[in-house]
A and B are shown apart, each in its own frame.
Chain A
Amino acid sequence: MGEVLVITSGKGGVGKTTTTANLGTGLAQLGKKVVVIDADIGLRNLDVVLGLENRIVYDLVDVVEGNCRLKQALIKDKRYPELFLLPAAQTRDKNAVSPEQMKALNDELKEIFDYVLVDCPAGIEQGFRNAISGADKAVVVTTPEISAVRDADRIIGLLEAAELRNPTLIINRLKIDMVRRGDMMNIDDMLDILAIDLLGVIPDDQAIVISTNRGEPVADGSTSQAGQAFRNIARRITGEEVPFLDLDLQDNLVHRLKKILGFAK
């Protein structure tokens, strides 16, 4: 029996889709059977981030409405034997699927896969309610900005009201030099405010933009810090204890010396 994780944030543009694609890739690398579902009906993007946009025939709404069998709509990622995408419909709206249908779909997928990752739409309306329906666990993605953290707090409240207790946090796009200068909230600041467990931290990394341009998730073998961070989170999801990346966030004497000697930026 697999596990359904919903990746959510409240605010748009903080990296839910990138996170979903990379965690799916990271889990598949560990040999897990994974399906990633794009629940953002009408604004689908998980397909392009994974580089699978040209292979869509059927979508989530087709499955729910019975226009095709579930297996016909699952797109296999050729890079991994056990990674599949269930794309969102692009020409429908969020009401095309009900929470009950979503739960039934998740229950069916859980029988086949080790992990079902649901990429939740931004917002707190029907699309959000559908996407969290049938999830076993929730992951909240935020960036170190007031607006994103505020929305994350709201989402945590709504998740708990929907009986999705103890969501975990991914802090995305942490700019290390700004944290050192005291111009960006650090990891402890955000954990202090949101008071949930940390699942991982993704440093701001140009490799993400480049990999998204190419449709190849950064967790796919890249030596970048972000790729490593995503692979670590995937391992944590499987229950492994993985230490957090040493991001060297302190502006201390050691760092200044390293800077002088050319070992740090």
Chain B
Amino acid sequence: MDFFKFFIGESKKSKNVAKERLKLVLVHDRADCSQDFLDAIKGDLIRVISDYMVIDESEMEIRMTRTKRDTDDTMIPALVANIPIKQMRDRKRL
């Protein structure tokens, strides 16, 4: 048994599994615990995007979530923003 463990190597040691899981959970916790943080991002996003298009601020939604990474099935934290566009701005007129 120990002989095989030798080949499994460093990364599968249970403390590394714990550390990886903990890091993921904390990204979520840290973002989750402060609505101010999300509101700050939301405010900045509105400011930037409004230069290019008219958006529906009341329907805009922004949250932290988790998703599978493309390359493998590892779960990673993701920032998801749903921003309904009312109308594109005419860049030439700006």
Minimal beta-carbon separation of A150 from chain B (angstroms) = 6
Extra contacts, 5 of them, besides A150-B25, A157-B34 (Cβ < 8 A), are A145-B18, A153-B29, A182-B14, A183-B15, A193-B19
A171 within 8 A of B: no
Residues 166-183 of chain A: 1 if any B CB is under 8 Å from the residue's CB, otherwise 0?
A: 000000000000010111
Interface of A is mostly: helix
Find out whether the CB atom of B21 lies under 8 angstroms from the CB atom of A146. Answer: yes
Rounded to whole angstroms, the CA-CA distance of A184 and B25 in the bound complex is: 18
Interface size on B (CB < 8 Å)? Answer: 16
Minimum CB distance partner of B22 in chain A = A146
Rounded to whole angstroms, the CA-CA distance of A214 and B70 in the bound complex is: 57
Contact status of A150 and B33, CB under 8 A, knowing A182-B16, A183-B14, A186-B15: no
Within 8 A of A (CB), among B54-79: none
Find out whether the CB atom of B15 lies under 8 angstroms from the CB atom of A185. Answer: yes
Find out whether the CB atom of B29 lies under 8 angstroms from the CB atom of A150. Answer: yes
Minimum CB distance partner of A147 in chain B = B22
Complex partner residue of A157 from B18, B21, B33, CB under 8 angstroms? B33
A-B contact pairs, 16 of them (CB 8 A): A146-B21, A146-B22, A150-B26, A150-B29, A153-B30, A154-B33, A179-B15, A181-B13, A182-B10, A182-B16, A183-B15, A185-B15, A185-B18, A186-B15, A189-B15, A193-B19
B-binding residues in A (CB < 8 A): 145-146, 149-150, 153-154, 157, 179, 181-186, 189, 192-193
Minimum CB distance partner of A145 in chain B = B18
Rounded to whole angstroms, the CA-CA distance of A192 and B23 in the bound complex is: 10
Rounded to whole angstroms, the CA-CA distance of A2 and B19 in the bound complex is: 38
Minimum CB distance partner of B11 in chain A = A182
Minimum CB distance partner of A186 in chain B = B15
Complex partner residue of B29 from A154, A182, A184, CB under 8 angstroms? A154
By a CB distance below 8 angstroms, the chain B residues around A193 are 19, 22-23, 26
